[in-house]
Chain A
Amino acid sequence: MSIEHRHPIHCILPPHILDAIRMRGDEKMKKMAERTERLADKTRAQREAAAPEKAYLGTPAFSGPTPPAMVREVYNGGRRVALPGVLVRAEGDPPVRDKIVNKVYDLTGKVFDFYLGAFKRNSIDGQGMPIISTVHHRRKFNNAFWNGSQMVFGDGDGLLFQSFTDLAIIGHELSHGVVQYSGGLMYKDQSGALNESFADVFGVMTVQYANKQTVSEASWLVGETLFGPEVTGEALRSLKAPGLAYDDDILGKDPQPFHMDLYVNTSSDYGGVHINSGIPNHAFYLLAQYLGGYSWEKAGQIWYQAMQKLNNPMATFADWADMTVQTAWDLFGQGSFEMLMVRRAWRLVGIHL
């Protein structure tokens, strides 16, 4: 069988390095990365590769007398591929006829409130970036994604999946934007799984914050309203029990591991970014249970601040775990209960620090 892949190697720099530069560099560096790939000019590639990457110094927390205003824009994709579509509701506009548009408008507001209220973050980039969403993307489209500048939601096929406009999913997609503007994580292998995990963790925390749920009251599920009535499963993912969210004869079984012993080595799904994210997901769940109360008050603070400090787009699970322990130390003190519980949570998923 002949197989054709999408990454022809044209240049000296590996694609993930160029991706990192495209993601984190300034305009000039982004152009450089594109040129490097296009021209495959070894000399130029080597010279420009030596240019220092822009260091990420953390998103400054909002501090001011009046809370920042959110800017939301919801577009109707008209079941077509082109983005963003037609603007149907902008910030301050009254509700429109389309219920999905109104739902996304309201729920993106809840995600904004969560980031501002829990972490003093002013929108996706920390600087009041407009929150742009497109609904009704393509026909019967079973997906939702962050394309680097906006969120995109499909309607689902109506059989296996309903609309992808669930609060945890909106929180998940917007959190991909937060990762991007917090130094970024390469969307591949372990760093990609960390990117997915951060999005899951902050997606479920958005729900908990909106409903004022404690760690023991929360469901810890992502996509609870996503499945059609005939699907056998609770949700798309479970942070509480990775691998047990669904078991359906069409969708198959939830493939997520909860421990490093079950880590899945695969080339598909960008190296299993949606699969192995179960491991850091479960570590966060365990930590939240140990610390109790509201997840965003302690466990969430550790995860959020760690992301602001990480500055390593190719971080492994161990790098990330190290950073969370370091952050717990910074926030709560050396040898604190919180710090010890972070270490314990990682140990229980097979990451020994």
Chain B
Amino acid sequence: MKSAMKRKELKQLHLRTTGGMGIVLEGNVAIEALPEELARQVQTKLTPTNLSRVARRKAPSFAPGQQEYEVTLFAGEKSEPRRYAFTDQQADPELLDLLDEITSIIIEEKMRTRRARRQQAAEPKEVNVSQEPPSLIPTAETLPDAGTALHDMDDPVPEKHEENEALPRASQG
């Protein structure tokens, strides 16, 4: 009974920030991939109860360019995602610190991915025979060795290979 009432653990979250100069940043974070202490903070502070309280809090004043946040919580496949929208004027300082930390992780991860992609694109491509598309033309490597396939040598060459008769074959070497 007790375990059934246990709060569902957060598996993943989606964070979207907008505002200020109009910059939009967003990304997904898998909780298990976060550093232990940060993951603990996320599990305790980014709860439906806390975020619901923040989202319902009245924004104290008019502020052009204030930051807006949308946090979507995913507790598992069987749970419905929950989304909360609020501004930095509604949030507690501790929550803002945490969101800054998560934003920073999202950006770092995106930058790492981009750098890797750019690096890969910039590297000179080596011609690697093994990476070439598989050929239907039999070669020394693809043909069975002489000892085990003597009887095969008498078999007719498959029809689709006939047009390549002129190519060297292992048995002809």
A140 touches B100 (CB 8 A): yes
Q: Roughly how many angstroms separate A189 CA and B80 CA in the complex, as a whole number?
A: 31
**B-binding residues in A (CB < 8 A):** 1-6, 8, 19, 22-23, 37, 80-82, 138-148, 154, 157, 159-161, 164, 169, 172-173, 176, 179, 187, 192, 195-196, 199, 222-223, 226, 230, 236-237, 249-252, 268-270, 273-275
7 closest A-B pairs by beta carbon, nearest first, are: A274-B22, A143-B20, A145-B65, A81-B93, A4-B55, A176-B64, A147-B63
Q: Roughly how many angstroms separate A82 CA and B96 CA in the complex, as a whole number?
A: 11
- The verdict on B81 contacting chain A, using a C-beta distance below 8 Å, is yes
B101 touches A139 (CB 8 A): yes
Chain B residue contacts of A80, Cβ below 8 A: 93
Given contacts A1-B80, A179-B64, could you give 15 more A-B pairs where the C-beta distance is less than 8 Å?
A: A2-B82, A6-B90, A22-B62, A23-B62, A80-B93, A81-B97, A138-B97, A140-B100, A142-B23, A145-B65, A147-B61, A164-B20, A164-B21, A249-B114, A273-B22
- The verdict on B18 contacting chain A, using a C-beta distance below 8 Å, is yes
Beta-carbon contacts of B59-98 to A below 8 Å, as 1s and 0s? 1011111111000100000001111111100100100110
B64 in complex: contacting residue of A146, A164, A252, CB < 8 Å: A146
Chain B residue contacts of A6, Cβ below 8 A: 55-57, 59, 85-87, 90
A37 touches B107 (CB 8 A): no
Chain A residue contacts of B97, Cβ below 8 A: 81, 138-139
Chain B residue contacts of A82, Cβ below 8 A: 93
Total cross-chain contacts (CB, 8 A): 139
A144 touches B21 (CB 8 A): yes
9 CB-based A-B contacts, threshold 8 Å: A19-B62, A147-B61, A160-B25, A161-B23, A169-B21, A222-B21, A230-B111, A251-B24, A269-B24
Q: Roughly how many angstroms separate A236 CA and B20 CA in the complex, as a whole number?
A: 11
B: interface residue count bin: 35 or more
Per DSSP, chain B at the interface is mixed
**A-binding residues in B (CB < 8 A):** 17-25, 51-52, 55-59, 61-68, 72, 80-87, 90, 93, 96-97, 100-101, 103-104, 107-108, 110-111, 114-115
Chain A residue contacts of B85, Cβ below 8 A: 3-6
**Residue ID in chain B nearest A187 by CB atoms:** B64
Chain B residue contacts of A148, Cβ below 8 A: 61-63
**Nearest Cβ on chain A to B8's Cβ, whole angstroms:** 14
Are A3 and B64 CB-contacts (below 8 A) given A37-B58, A81-B96, A269-B18?
Answer: no
Q: Roughly how many angstroms separate A334 CA and B58 CA in the complex, as a whole number?
A: 48
Q: Roughly how many angstroms separate A19 CA and B111 CA in the complex, as a whole number?
A: 39
Chain A residue contacts of B51, Cβ below 8 A: 4
B52 in complex: contacting residue of A4, A157, A223, CB < 8 Å: A4
A176 touches B87 (CB 8 A): no
Are A145 and B63 CB-contacts (below 8 A) given A157-B107, A252-B24?
Answer: yes
**Nearest Cβ on chain A to B21's Cβ, whole angstroms:** 5
Q: Roughly how many angstroms separate A179 CA and B62 CA in the complex, as a whole number?
A: 13
B20 touches A145 (CB 8 A): yes
**Nearest Cβ on chain A to B144's Cβ, whole angstroms:** 49
Chain A residue contacts of B24, Cβ below 8 A: 251-252, 269
A3 touches B93 (CB 8 A): no
**Residue ID in chain B nearest A157 by CB atoms:** B107
Chain B residue contacts of A269, Cβ below 8 A: 18-19, 22, 24, 68
Q: Roughly how many angstroms separate A179 CA and B101 CA in the complex, as a whole number?
A: 33
A143 in complex: contacting residue of B21, B57, B101, CB < 8 Å: B21
Chain A residue contacts of B23, Cβ below 8 A: 142-143, 161, 236, 251
**Nearest Cβ on chain B to A1's Cβ, whole angstroms:** 5
Chain B residue contacts of A187, Cβ below 8 A: 62-64
Chain B residue contacts of A5, Cβ below 8 A: 55, 85
**Nearest Cβ on chain B to A119's Cβ, whole angstroms:** 20
Q: Roughly how many angstroms separate A290 CA and B72 CA in the complex, as a whole number?
A: 48
Q: Roughly how many angstroms separate A2 CA and B90 CA in the complex, as a whole number?
A: 19
A275 touches B22 (CB 8 A): yes
Q: Roughly how many angstroms separate A269 CA and B66 CA in the complex, as a whole number?
A: 10
A223 in complex: contacting residue of B21, B61, B100, B111, CB < 8 Å: B21
B80 touches A2 (CB 8 A): yes
Chain A residue contacts of B61, Cβ below 8 A: 22, 147-148
**Residue ID in chain B nearest A252 by CB atoms:** B24
**Residue ID in chain B nearest A248 by CB atoms:** B114
